[in-house]
Structure 1
Amino acid sequence: MPATVTQLATYLYTITVQIFLQQCPLSLLTDYTSSCTITTASQTNYDFIIIGGGTSGLVLANRLSYNSAIKVLVVEAGMPPSNYSEMPMEYQHLNFPVSAHDWNFKTQPGDYCNGYPDGCVFHQGRGIGGSSLISNMIQYEGNSVDFDRWNISLWNWSILSQELLKINLLNGSTATNGYMEVSYPHSTSELINKTTEAFANLTLPLHMLQGSRMGYYEVPAYVKSGRRFSVAKGYLAPIITRSNLCVLYNTRATKINIDFQTKLAKSVEVKNSSNAVFTMQTTREVILSAGTINSPKLLMLSGIGPMDDLLAKGLPVMVPLEGVGKKPT
């Protein structure tokens, strides 16, 4: 499909901003430098190997490495956030037309993709922090009814809402010990003021927070001091110097080696930017948090998945599991 004028203009704008940032980089960028290297990591036995340094991967890395006796390795295919991702208003350009912060997946052609017969872009963040590098940063906790209708005792709203309060730190408040900085834009837009008045006239509640089903509010965002506050800033940056934590960037996991008899993961094969292959050993667990596409892909490359699909690709069948790679949403 030919590029539209809007697409070309957006592309030129994106390139211009990137060139500007290369010449005038933002100061005081967060340091994500890890003290380990891929060579030293390959010579170490880790208790836990986490594949994917996105939201869930970094939360687990933070919590597991809290115990200094536990060695944790994070394998991330992308790099630390760039200057460009620091700018909140640039989120809409971070994945156009091709971004280093996005895996740039595209769906197969069909009539199921928002009316795009040739397929559409399936955005997924690539880099330390995962999709929190390219999201619109809006903080919204969801509808309490959705949680309660699952009818799972430990996932009902009364319990989950208390856990959610532990995540966020509102405007630097010391009232909670949250990891993620949340702030309000406090816009002076006349349009927003008029819209707020209109909602008030309809007697809708002021805050659509804490699980309420209807209402309006000024949208809180994961922004601090005018910059994006990614999961990497909240969960990794404060602990990056832990001696029992190793984070490998630009390193892609290619296979999980599984013991055929015990069916337990024993090591992970990875490739660095030079396509050199290394094997990382684990004494306890491999945690797979590589995202909606890459997680089932790596499972299948490791011999876990639908038997017919594995055999068709000449892959060994370690664990036949029909659900792998099906219904990603």
Structure 2
Amino acid sequence: MTHDVIVIGGGSAGCVLANRLSADPRRSVLLLEAGPDFATTAGTPADIKDATYAPYTYDWGYRSVPDAFGNEVPVPRGRVIGGSSAVNVCVAMRARPSDHDAWAAAAGPAWGYAQMLPLYQEMEHYPYGEEKYHGLGGPYRMTLGAPADLGRHAVAAQQAGARLGHPEVADFNAPGAPGFARTPLSAADGIRLSTAIGYLNPVRDRPNLRVRGETLVDRVLFRGTRARGVRLATGEEIPARHVVLSAGAYNSPAIALRSGIGDRGDLTALGIGVVADLPGVGRNLTEHPAYWNVHAAKPPEAEARSVFGSVLSVATGPDEPDFDVQILPSAAVPAGSLPEQFVPRAEHHPTGWDMVFFVSCVQPRSRGSVRLSSPDPEAAPVIDLGLYTAADDAERVADGVRLARRLARTRPLADLLADERVPGPDISDRELADTVRRAPAHYNHGSATMRMGRPGDPTAVVDADGTVRGVEGLTVADASVFPAMPRVATNVPAIVVAERIASVLRERLAPRD
């Protein structure tokens, strides 16, 4: 059988595409996911149904190449239906109007905020904030926890922020000045609301939609420069009229490279025939660098419902049009419950509880890359995150840690904390930038490895509609096509990218009668 559309990757974007493209019963859609497919919420294991962060259970197991100090870091990506929306921390942040300004400048006016707002409204169910900014009845349900859900320590952090001049923001996902806001979440009643739950499960009974889990794709097949289907790692070939890559910022470029799309020299060195010479494939990898600033916390009266339920957004650069640093203050959590690589266990912990300030530079200048080690689809791509290759990024993360330290010294939060554990009181503010460089961490927001751009942009891989340059019948729709890194968690931006590109494909791919 020749499918009208094959979507590679059943993650945050792929589930959106499967829903939207199969809405016309005359169009046959096949969704391929490398990880397991849990077909119903009831059949979903608790560790990914629960709204907690458990990225290593259904994960690709990727690690970055060592940095200048020999540090490797995990690069968690969901290998499961729902992708990373099934394993992340459920943060549901829209790209800012300033981000859309940058997207429109790079890729065209269709990506501007005013043009994209109706898609945000169509995708979401968010019964908070002003109606002119939000939608009801969409497949992506978003919630906003009550202040009591944050826990006493996170509430005190917001009160300390107000004393330092950082205003409360009622609606993070509406335009406006930055400040302290409760974090919108893709979770409700303790249940994670991945795109598999919101977009895919309600339409699984469509006879024109088929979902295959545990199906690893090797490459896209071409007849000349026209995509004609896919080859699986098993050798099975599946024909299609159109192929959509939605495998994410690491696997979409890896599949494109194995398919003969990328830098001619790199492909030739690996013995891969060249279909399209596009040097931008796998280049421009952008990630939000981060640091875990940890304080021993006095025990809470009760554990909070939300670990990271609020966010402080600040501008540290004098020329920033919007914020460039985010600080997520955690609730007080039992010592040892957070990732040991970033929050080390203490043999003699002073309180038995920790509070973390997760600090990130959300407008980094550093760039990395995704390359192939071999044409073998089972081989992990070579991921160079490039963290802190631009020195300013470490300085801005350090600025965020300095602010976190000021919050920790400000009442009422100061009354709830004991000693700083990471980096510790022996590290002065002047030493923070170097300390940050030597302890690389990130926000799990890899992006822009197949970025879109205007005609004539030599680094762009796809056009403003996600169409891969130099070939026919192949589209990319996921975080890899971001023309510039948004200054927010990337799940909602990836979903709205899929919404827009799906709307383009619905018009272009006329169903067969």
TM bucket normalised to smaller: 0.7 to 0.9
Q: Which of residues 197, 201, 224 in structure 2 aligns to 1:233? A: 197
Partner Cα distance (1:228, 1:298) in 2: 29
Partner of 2:142: 182
Partner of 1:128: 81
Shift of 1:94: 2.8
Partner Cα distance (1:267, 1:206) in 2: 48
Contact 1:48–1:287 at 8 Å: present in 2 too? yes
Partner Cα distance (1:226, 1:205) in 2: 25
Partner of 2:210: 246
Once the two structures are superposed, the pairs formed by residues 107-122 of structure 1 within 5 Å of their partners are 107-111=64-68, 117-122=70-75
Partner Cα distance (1:156, 1:305) in 2: 28
Partner of 2:117: 161
- CA gap of 1:161–1:307, structure 2 versus 1, over 3 A, is same
Contact 2:124–2:135 at 8 Å: present in 1 too? no
Contact 1:266–1:281 at 8 Å: present in 2 too? yes
Per-residue displacement from partner, 1:243-298 (whole Å, max 9, x unpaired)?
000110000111211012xx101121114xxx4x321111x211111111211211
Contact 1:79–1:128 at 8 Å: present in 2 too? yes
Once the two structures are superposed, the pairs formed by residues 198-209 of structure 1 within 5 Å of their partners are 198-199=160-161, 202=165, 204-207=167-170, 208-209=172-173
After superposing on structure 2, the runs of 4+ consecutive aligned residues of structure 1 that deviate more than 6 Å are 172-175
Q: Which of residues 214, 218, 223 in structure 1 aligns to 2:178? A: 214
Q: Which of residues 226, 230, 236 in structure 2 aligns to 1:278? A: 236
Partner Cα distance (1:229, 1:222) in 2: 5
Shift of 1:171: 5.6
Shift of 1:318: 2.1
Query: Equivalent residue of 1:217, what SS?
Result: strand
Partner Cα distance (2:27, 2:221) in 1: 21
Partner Cα distance (2:12, 2:229) in 1: 23
Partner Cα distance (1:298, 1:175) in 2: 35
Shift of 1:315: 1.6
Partner Cα distance (1:164, 1:221) in 2: 15
Q: What is the identity, as a one-letter code, of the residue corresponding to 2:86?
A: L
1:267 and 2:229 correspond = yes
Shift of 1:181: 1.3
Per-residue displacement from partner, 1:8-36 (whole Å, max 9, x unpaired)?
xxxxxxxxxxxxxxxxxxxxxxxxxxxxx
- CA gap of 1:102–1:320, structure 2 versus 1, over 3 A, is same
- CA gap of 1:248–1:280, structure 2 versus 1, over 3 A, is same
Q: Which of residues 39, 45, 60 in structure 2 aligns to 1:103? A: 60
Contact 2:169–2:178 at 8 Å: present in 1 too? no
Q: Which of residues 47, 55, 62 in structure 2 aligns to 1:84? A: 47
Per-residue displacement from partner, 1:214-270 (whole Å, max 9, x unpaired)?
12222221112211110111110000110000110000111211012xx10112111
Partner of 1:51: 8
Partner Cα distance (1:269, 1:200) in 2: 56
Contact 2:55–2:78 at 8 Å: present in 1 too? no
Once the two structures are superposed, the pairs formed by residues 310-321 of structure 1 within 5 Å of their partners are 310-321=267-278
- CA gap of 1:305–1:63, structure 2 versus 1, over 3 A, is same
Per-residue displacement from partner, 1:61-110 (whole Å, max 9, x unpaired)?
11110000000001110013532111223x0x432xxx3x2111111112
**TM-score, normalised relative to structure 1:** 0.75
Per-residue displacement from partner, 1:188-207 (whole Å, max 9, x unpaired)?
22334434444556472432
Q: What is the identity, as a one-letter code, of the residue corresponding to 1:144?
A: P
Structure 2's unaligned 5+ residue stretches are 38-43, 287-513
Partner Cα distance (2:102, 2:13) in 1: 24
Shift of 1:157: 2.0
1:142 and 2:95 correspond = yes
- CA gap of 1:196–1:306, structure 2 versus 1, over 3 A, is closer
Partner of 2:153: 191
Partner Cα distance (1:305, 1:292) in 2: 15
- CA gap of 1:165–1:265, structure 2 versus 1, over 3 A, is same
Q: Which of residues 197, 200, 219 in structure 2 aligns to 1:255? A: 219
Partner Cα distance (1:194, 1:299) in 2: 48
Contact 2:63–2:75 at 8 Å: present in 1 too? yes
Shift of 1:125: 1.4
Shift of 1:186: 1.8
Number of aligned residue pairs = 269
**TM-score, normalised relative to structure 2:** 0.49
Partner Cα distance (2:256, 2:85) in 1: 24
Partner of 2:478: none
